[in-house]
Amino acid sequence: MPIKSFKPTTPSLRFRKISTFAEITETEPEKSLLEPLKKTGG
């Protein structure tokens, strides 16, 4: 997994590194996990 590092514009960002989840994140949600919203009212 690639690691994203930040430009040290502030002291707290100097040593910050996070994982990017680009390979496991899809651009569209999985259809089988979705359910429609029930609309009520007029």
Cα distance between residue 34 and residue 13, in whole Å: 36
Residues 6+ apart with CB under 8 A from 8: 14
Q: How confident is the prediction for the chain on average, in pLDDT?
A: 86
pTM of the model: 0.42
Written as six digits, the tokens of 40 are: 């009520």
What does the pLDDT average to over 19-26? 79
**Residue 13 clears pLDDT 80, i.e. is over it:** yes
Beta bridge partners of 3: 19
What does the pLDDT average to over 19-41? 83
